[in-house]
Structure 1
Amino acid sequence: MSWLRRLRPNTSGLMIGRAVGTVAYAVAAVVVVPAHLRWVALLCTAVAFAGAVYSWRARMDQPVHRVVGLVVMAAGGHALYVVDPSSPGWLPAGIAISVALAVLPLTIAVPFAFLTAGTGALIAELRNPTAIVPLLAGCTGFAVLGAVVGSSRQRADQAERLLASEKAAREAEARAQVYAERARLAREIHDILAHTLSAQIVGLESARLLMRRGAPGEAVLQQIEQAQKLAREGLDETRQAVLSLRGDTRPTADAVRGLAQGASAKLAIEGTPEPLTPEAGLAVERTVREALTNVRKHAPGAAVRIRLAYATDEVEVEVCDGGPATHAGPRPVLRDTGTGYGLAGLRERAELLGGKLDAGPAENGEGFRVWLTIPR
């Protein structure tokens, strides 16, 4: 908005110009009239000047006060014109018309301009009929000048408001991005640290109770190894989350391929692997990891198929297992596993990114299927 400020006149220079103009007008008004009317002319000039000052000092949200000041200003000029038609009494009226059209609403400025010009024409008709045409021409010129200045002023004010609105919008967007990043950090902390540490605490507490009861060392060791495994997985996930927050993640296809190899799952990649956003890549990797964790818990030893498909505007990942050899009961849909995130939490993440996650029994009724679709 600095260029708009440069368009505004210098305040000190404007004050000096007004003072010089006022003095020059007062001298001219007094000099041109007969000597016996000079005190009257000086009084009319003072009235016009007082009206101008009152109107100028009124705030923009006080149009009534501005109108009153302009009426007094024009009245002082008309009075001087009545005293002596050869005096510059028309000048305050013309300036009042110009100022009104420049700063007042048109619903007020236009009637004021017609009334002021009409009053001047009536006085000229009575005092100096030959001056009617020049007077009306002068009023028209002042009106055009005021309209041009008012239009330029409105455009400048509108541009300034638009710039202020744009700045506010940018600041609001920046705040929204900060809040979104904070929410994302909170989700990462909750999904990784809270769940992983909770599971470790449970495992270590179980090991402590087993030791107190004199349980076999193998059972205690199993609980400790499980807690150690959870710690390693939590550390790995924390590293991936930090890389994602920095915008520096490993290729999604490589991450899925590593998970498939670790779980002895069959992997099929369709389309040309291309980089995803850090959030989308992390969602795909975590969905595959959670699905494989659920297979180990609910269908140990089951054959697993992973399909990663790159379409034009979305990426799709599907994890299917053939189910365990025997079922103790139906497998729950979208159940939190307690080892990391849970499919319900991952589905929420997918929806935040504009995607969709479905989980449930496979179409053939055997095994379980997790299917994620997310925009690229």
Structure 2
Amino acid sequence: MNAPLARKLRAVSTAPATPLRALSAAPAAPLLTAAVLAAAATVELAVHGYPDRLPIALILALATALPLAAVRVQPFWSALTSSAAALLALAPYQVFTIAGLPALLVCLYTQGRHGPRLPATLLPLPFLGYAVAGPGDRQVTVLVCLGALAAAVTGLTRRALAEARAHSATERAIAETLQEHAARGERARIARELHDVVAHHISMIAVQAETARLTTAGMPPAGAERLLAIGDTARTALTEMRRLLGVLREDSGAEPTRRPQPGLQELAELVDEARDAAGGATRLIVSGRIRPLDQGVELTAYRIVQEALTNARRHAPGAAVDVTLHYSPGHLRLRVRDNGPGPGLAAPQGSHGLTGMRERATMVGGKLESGAALGGGFHVTVALPIPPTEQTPDEEKTS
């Protein structure tokens, strides 16, 4: 059981104790009560007499009252002993004491509330028989037996209600915990979306401002300073956004966007944007049998390419970038490689960008690799599985 769920269960199971409940919960309460009732039963027998039955009357009175001392540790044996002694005292000996009645009721109630369920159900049955056809003083017998039945039934009812409340509280706690986990996962997904989309466009602003400042001939110094300020502001905003992403992953409750999600059909437009923004050569190379894929796979591929292009513009400005998309049997393989300076200046392995790409690939059952490319530069390579239903019959035979 996890810690939040355990805290919820402790909270719902903790009830404020009343003074009477606190007094009855004292460790010595059963022993002292049993001693007082046993003494009261002895005095009652001495007052009433029973000269011919005094020894057996005293034994039965003590056997009815004293088991109360062990009712917390042995509820079944306490209830069994007190019940047997009470039944014998009612008939055939007819020496039942009023002081023994509270002990009998408490033992039967505790057995019904905390003891084994089957004995708690069977123990009151002899009292029902005594109430219907028992010998002796009918009025006393009926009152005692009905009281015993009521105590046992009350204990069983309280147990059933407590178990129902505990079960309901457990279900509520589990449901709240599941909702929290679902909300946390949704916030993480929103964080990835924000990083992929917003970081892409902010990086484009920074790159375009820097490119305009360096490539525009005859630009006045004031214009160059403003473009430099635009680039610095965009980079600062990007840094602040990445700092806030950690908060969003855990604490934010923002609603997801309802715009249609992009797919592989928009890759050409994405590559054109990257080429215009970076001022370098950016190519899209597609091979294999092209066909529409599952929307989740296409969105994952698009976002990974988008983030990889953003990293290339940020860490290898001006470098040529190749985006390779290959449809193979069972897999969609994509690779984004630049010919920049390599991992020394490329995105660090623990960055939000690479982490988000790896999470996206894992969510659809894919695998992502990144690092130094052969011959220089940096590469991001991903293999995304294609469900069998999306393969053509020829491809299924090949695979």
What TM-score do you get using the length of structure 2 for normalisation? 0.46
